[in-house]
Structures are given as structure tokens and as C-alpha cells.
Amino acid sequence: MSGYPVLVEGTAVTALVVGGGSVASRKVRGLLAAGARVLVVAPSVTEELLTLGEREKNLTIEKRRFQDEDVRDVTLVFAATDERTTNSRIARIARGHRRLVSVSDLPSEGNFSGMAAHCAGDVVIGVSAGGVPRAAARIRDALAERFDGRYATAIDALRAMRRRLLDTGGAAKWEQAMRTFLDERFCTRVESGELTAEVDAWH
């Protein structure tokens, strides 16, 4: 599918996950970690999902089969059952209601797909690899080795500087700071630790 990558505020998402197996469990874990509200619909679910349901206030589990009206009040739909015909039906119903739907066993039936994501503080890197999730995960892991906690620290420092300067009418100073810190040596300075020290010393 063609791609338009976005980063969605998780707390604004209400997700429907249809299915109760390992794929559904993985989707639910990611959604809950982002702060989304999640409804799981499946006749049976894993022990992991049952445990999460007891612990997580944002997770509701209904042990039953999917119904067409389940898609009406949600933002995202995940068709993650082990039944091809059921997943196809979920996708058709969701698209008919203009919902974003991801289909685990046939991504081309959906209109969005998740990405292998690496997070280091506010640095988020998402990788898509043409429907080959294991390849995306390998690329993500390679990127994660470089873009580690040093980048989280650097971005925290830059964000605090930006807020401080803009709040005190220092827009011109922030523009100057961006030219200084966000040049072609940005990554080199982050990885050496120079950038955070330079930001702390900036006046």
C-alpha cells in the first residue's frame, strides 16, 4: 500500500481488536502502551489478554463473535482472527464505515498497517518493509543500536531550550540555536555527548 506516515496521539485512539490469539495480544500491548482505549472481541482469548484485562483500565474484553456494529465508535480496527473469511468481513464492514482497518493475514485488504517502532524518549522511529514484518523488525533493531538514549537526552535538552526561548520572546535566538545545533554535525555531536553540554552552556 502507499504510505503516509503519521504519529498519532495514543490517548485519542479507541481501538477494536477482533481476535484473541498471539497476534491480537501483540496489538493490544502496543495500543495500551500508547495510552489507547482498547476493546477486544473474540470467543476465546489468551491468558495474557485475560491478565491484562484484569489489570488495565483501558482494556475491555468481550468474549463473543464480531458484530457489524462493533466498528461504529472506534478509531482503528484490527482484524486479527485466525479465520480468513472473518477477517475479510471485518475489513469490508470497517471500510464501509470509513474506519482505518489493519488485516493481519492479508494487509492489502486493509487501509493501514503498523510499523516496527523504536522509541528512545520522544524520538520515535517507525519502519515498514512492504508487508514483511520480520524484515522491518531487523531494520528497526539496527537503527535502535545507534539512535539510543543519547538522542532522548539531546531532544529533551533541545525541547527545554526551545520552550524557554519562545516563552521569553526569543524566537530569533531559537532560530540561531537551530542553525548552530541542528547542522550536519548534529548526530556526531549527540553521539559524542557534545550537544547536550553545548545546549546547557547556551545563553
The Cα 126–Cα 116 span in angstroms is 6
Find the helix or strand (DSSP H, E) in which 186 lies.
Answer: helix 186-192
* Nearest residue to 196 via CA among 165, 163, 164, 150: 150
Q: Are 27 and 3 a contacting pair, CB within 8 Å?
A: no
The amino acid sitting at 139 is I
Q: Are 94 and 75 a contacting pair, CB within 8 Å?
A: no
User: pLDDT tens per residue, the chain (203 residues)?
Assistant: 677 888 999 999 999 999 999 999 999 999 999 999 999 999 999 999 999 999 999 999 999 999 999 999 999 999 999 999 999 999 999 999 999 999 999 989 999 988 999 999 999 999 998 878 889 999 999 999 999 999 999 999 999 999 988 988 888 989 999 999 999 999 999 999 999 989 988 86
The Cα 193–Cα 197 span in angstroms is 7
The Cα 154–Cα 191 span in angstroms is 9
Q: For the stretch 135-170, what's the b/e string if a residue is b when 16 or more beta carbons lie within 10 angstroms of its beta carbon?
A: ebbebbeeebeebbebbbbbbebbeebeeebeeeee
